[in-house]
Amino acid sequence: MRPLSLLPEYDAMFRGALDRLHQERRYRVFADLERQAGRYPYAIWHSGEGKREVVIWCSNDYLGMSQHPKVMGAMIDAVSRMGTGAGGTRNIAGTNHPLVALEQELADLHGKEAALVFTSGYVSNEAGISTIAKLLPGCLLLSDALNHNSMIEGVRKAGAEKQIWQHNDPEHLERLLRAADPERPKLIVCESLYSMDGDIAPLHRICDLAERYGALTYVDEVHAVGMYGPRGGGIAERDGVMERIDIVEGTLAKAYGCLGGYLAAGTNLIDAVRSYAPGFIFTTALPPPVCAAATAAIRHLKASTAERVRHQDRAARLKSVLTAADLPVMPSESHIVPVHVGDPEKCRAASDLLMSEHGIYIQPINYPTVPRGMERLRLTPTPYHDDALMDQLVHAMMKVWDKLHLCYRRESGFTRGHEAP
Ligand code: PLP
């Protein structure tokens, strides 16, 4: 019988791969956290030394919807009526009714004819971009330089020619479009809100160019849906360009507090992706309770603006208290509040000290997620982070900054001040 562990020569290869990550200072450690329903943003941290209550400051559950009574209620109700799993791929098991309702809700949210739900935002980008491009013979993909890995993988998998345009630079995009064969199908791929810097794409200008040069637009609204626009339709809704975007991609896992990703677009495009995308066809559908909960979250945020107003207020206050304390807040146009550290080990050390000495959880963001030298703490205040929590955070960060001799704002070069969210 084979021993349970790998053969030593194979094991050595995995060890070697891990050693490389350690040497490059890129090895990731995940905190063991237990979220507390009804007590957002508090969680229990399970560390080697036991359990401790901490405050989460970096969650993408941006509005705390994962703990909203309507969302939890919808999930519990669906579990009791339908059980947990979906029972298979949609081809085999059919579509559970809550998923039909969810797709209708999403199509309506984005003012599109149809929507298609995937098991995650990652899969929706990878499967969506690659399938759409493959169905357009000779397609040229024009991708923003800072697009998320899931979009990069979608572009790569498409196997089509790609050109990368400089981040949020419509002039560069136009140069590429102008040089391209006018007869050729073109797909412009970008995000609406970039989650590491909190900057926002010039969607109006991108749509103008798409119309002028006959290109399709594919916009990832993962970090904006639920949070921007009068009904939470994202930056495209806020900026009044929703009907000019051909394909909207989003997630149910961030502002909507659940799991899953989706595309919203015209009927034929959605039907074609449904029929051709392996990442959609050959995997089990989302569980009905998750679909029911996501639908409840979307419906609530379509009607209620209180969460969005409070969210923006919290982001503005956090930027202003950090700036007043001379902490190096990087410029951001949105609810994302990055604080510059500029060194991977110091970034990890700052995160560790905040957690162990102050009960504050902020994951360090290091290369390759951001360029080397741009390592940071990325804060995401939610409607539940009150003034007292913010004051406690600033006090703790200053202690950590002093202890590690980190640069304050004036020394760091980030003196432009924050822009209003
Ligand atoms: N698109 C962007 C821009 C993201 O930042 C992420 C994840 O953070 C995704 C897509 C993937 O979404 P999901 O977490 O639903 O897989």
Q: Convert the pLDDT of each residue in 326-383 to its tens digit.
A: 999 999 999 999 999 999 999 999 999 999 999 999 999 998 899 999 999 999 999 9
* Per-residue pLDDT, 410: 77
Residue 261 CA: nearest ligand 1 atom is 15
- 246 versus 1: the higher-pLDDT residue is 246
Mutate to test the pocket of ligand 1, among 190, 251, 256, 262 (most ligand atoms within 8 A of CB): 251
At residue 420, does pLDDT exceed 80? no
Q: Distance between CA atoms of 312 and 321, rounded to whole angstroms?
A: 14
Residue 259 CA: nearest ligand 1 atom is 15
Token pair in block for residue 134? 């493959």
Q: Distance between CA atoms of 313 and 389, rounded to whole angstroms?
A: 14
Q: Distance between CA atoms of 54 and 45, rounded to whole angstroms?
A: 6
Ligand 1 pocket, residues with Cβ under 6 angstroms: 120-122, 125, 148, 150, 191, 195, 220, 222, 251, 253, 261
How far the first Cα of the chain sits from its last, in Å, is 62
Could you report the per-residue pLDDT of 274-295, keeping only the tens digit for each?
999 999 999 999 999 999 999 9
* Per-residue pLDDT, 375: 95
- Give the rounded percent of residues in the chain with a pLDDT score beyond 90: 92
Which residue has its alpha carbon closest to ligand 1 atom 12? 121
Measured in Å, residue 280 CA sits from the centre of ligand 1 at: 16
Q: Is the peptide bond before 421 cis (omega within 30 degrees of 0)?
A: no
Measured in Å, residue 41 CA sits from the centre of ligand 1 at: 21
Which residue type sits at 36? Q
Could you report the per-residue pLDDT of 226-238, keeping only the tens digit for each?
999 999 999 999 9
Measured in Å, residue 124 CA sits from the centre of ligand 1 at: 9
Could you report the per-residue pLDDT of 112-147, keeping only the tens digit for each?
999 999 999 999 999 999 999 999 999 999 999 999
254 given a catalytic annotation: yes
CA angle, corner 297, sides to 72 and 264, nearest 5?
140
Could you report the per-residue pLDDT of 266-277, keeping only the tens digit for each?
999 999 999 999
Task: From the candidates 112, 157, 162, 254, give the one annotated as an active-site residue.
Answer: 254
Measured in Å, residue 122 CA sits from the centre of ligand 1 at: 5
Mutate to test the pocket of ligand 1, among 150, 152, 380 (most ligand atoms within 8 A of CB): 150
Q: Mean pLDDT score of the chain, rounded to an integer? A: 95
Residue 251 CA: nearest ligand 1 atom is 15
Q: Distance between CA atoms of 270 and 256, rounded to whole angstroms?
A: 22
pLDDT interval class at 421 (50, 70, 90): very low
Cβ atoms of 45 and 54 within 8 Å: the answer is yes
HEC states along the chain? CCCCCCCHHHHHHHHHHHHHHHHCCCCCCCCCEEECCCCCCEEEEEECCEEEEEEECCCCCCCCHHHCHHHHHHHHHHHHHHCCCCCCCHHHHCCCHHHHHHHHHHHHHCCCCEEEEECCHHHHHHHHHHHHHHCCCCCEEEEECCCCHHHHHHHHHHCCEEEEECCCCHHHHHHHHHHCCCCCCEEEEEECECCCCCCECCHHHHHHHHHHHCCEEEEECCCCCCCCCCCCCCHHHHCCCHHHCCEEEEECCCCCCCCCEEEEECHHHHHHHHHHCHHHHCCCCCCHHHHHHHHHHHHHHHHCCHHHHHHHHHHHHHHHHHHHCCCCECCCCCCCEEEECCCHHHHHHHHHHHHHHHCEECCEECCCCCCCCCCEEEECCCCCCCHHHHHHHHHHHHHHHHHHCCCCHHHHCCCCCCCCC
* Per-residue pLDDT, 415: 55
User: What average pLDDT does range 389-402 have in this prediction?
Assistant: 98
Measured in Å, residue 226 CA sits from the centre of ligand 1 at: 14
At residue 38, does pLDDT exceed 80? yes
Cβ atoms of 104 and 161 within 8 Å: the answer is no
Q: Distance between CA atoms of 214 and 412, rounded to whole angstroms?
A: 43
Q: How far is CA 92 from CA 133, 168, 282, 303, 383, in A?
A: 27, 42, 10, 35, 41
| Nearest Cα residue to 398 out of 328, 301, 331 | 328
* Per-residue pLDDT, 25: 82
Q: Distance between CA atoms of 365 and 314, rounded to whole angstroms?
A: 22
pLDDT interval class at 80 (50, 70, 90): very high
Which residue has its alpha carbon closest to ligand 1 atom 14? 121
Which residue type sits at 72? M
Cβ atoms of 225 and 115 within 8 Å: the answer is no
* Per-residue pLDDT, 73: 98
pLDDT interval class at 412 (50, 70, 90): confident
* Per-residue pLDDT, 1: 58
At residue 409, does pLDDT exceed 90? no
Mutate to test the pocket of ligand 1, among 59, 118, 148 (most ligand atoms within 8 A of CB): 148
Could you report the per-residue pLDDT of 169-186, keeping only the tens digit for each?
999 999 999 999 999 999
